[in-house]
Amino acid sequence: MTFDEFLAQRLDSLLRYATTLTCDPHQAQDIVQEVVLRAQQRWGRIGRMEQPGAYVTRMVTNEFLSWRRRRQDISVAPQAMGRLGATTADHSGRVDDRQVLLAGIARLPRKQRVAVVLRYYLNRTDDQIAVELGCSTGTVRSHVSRAVATLRAGLTSIQRVEEVR
């Protein structure tokens, strides 16, 4: 597979993955741009791999983690969430819940966020996530379980507020 063929097949999925990680399309674009440029320079080696897509996806994950380390001040501002776009053709209750969840995801610690995205967006198994994050399967389960508990708690508290109203 040539680098151009790889880009044609995978660039958009990398951008979508990065957007779920960063909760910000602009950061996602920056991260993917950095990764793709590096992948292009190393394509002689990456292109010969059995699954170059998986390798570059891992590069995006690592870039997201290191990006966050380099720029500790990054957090998702409310206006960034607003930029995520208007919802279309959906049930209003679900939209409210979704917005609460998206805000909750944006506040998760970075490794928990990666674990949640890999599990629920890319449908990866615990073992696959462990390889991606370079940790044990038990640690992955802990990340996912804590993240889910946090997100559910956020959702429940909003529902209680709605009930009181």
Partner 1 sequence: MRTDEFEDLLRGALDHQAAQAPSGARVLAALAPRTRRRRWWMPVGGVVTAGLVGIAMVSASESYEQAAPGTSLQVSPPAELGNVYWEPTWLPSGMVEQERSYAVDDTWVGSIWASGPGTAAPWVHVISVVPGPGQPTGPDPSHEQVLVNGRPGEWTVSSDPRHEVHTLTWWAGSRRFDLLGSSLPDPKPVLLRVAESLRPLAVEPTAVPFTFAAVPGARVDWSGISGDRPDKAVMITNLVFADVGVARIEVRPDQPVLEGARVPVRGGTGWFRMAPLGLDELTGQLVADLGGRWLVVSFLPYAAKDPAEQLNLLTTVANSVTVGPTPAAPWLGRRP
Q: Could you tell me if 115 and 81 are in contact, meaning their C-beta atoms sit under 8 angstroms apart?
A: no
Q: For partner 1, which is the closer residue by CB, 24 or 133?
A: 24
Q: For partner 1, which is the closer residue by CB, 20 or 68?
A: 20
Two tokens, residue 141? 């389960």
Q: Could you tell me if 31 and 60 are in contact, meaning their C-beta atoms sit under 8 angstroms apart?
A: yes
Q: For partner 1, which is the closer residue by CB, 20 or 61?
A: 20
Cβ of residue 156: shortest distance to partner 1, in angstroms?
Answer: 8
* Alpha carbons 110 and 105: distance in angstroms, whole number: 9
Cβ of residue 76: shortest distance to partner 1, in angstroms?
Answer: 11
Q: For partner 1, which is the closer residue by CB, 28 or 129?
A: 28
Cβ of residue 129: shortest distance to partner 1, in angstroms?
Answer: 14
Q: Could you tell me if 101 and 116 are in contact, meaning their C-beta atoms sit under 8 angstroms apart?
A: no
Cβ of residue 7: shortest distance to partner 1, in angstroms?
Answer: 7
Q: For partner 1, which is the closer residue by CB, 30 or 62?
A: 30
Q: Which letter does DSSP use for residue 42 in this model?
A: T
For the chain, give percent helix, strand, coil, nearest 5. 80, 0, 20
List of residues contacting partner 1 (CB under 8 A): 2-4, 7-13, 15-20, 23, 25-26, 28-29, 32-33, 36-37, 40, 83-85, 87-89, 94, 97-98, 101-102, 105, 116-117, 120-121, 123, 148, 151-152, 155-156
Other Cβ atoms within 10 Å of 158 Cβ, number: 17
Q: Which letter does DSSP use for residue 23 in this model?
A: S
Cβ of residue 153: shortest distance to partner 1, in angstroms?
Answer: 11
Which secondary-structure segment (H or E) carries 110? helix 110-120
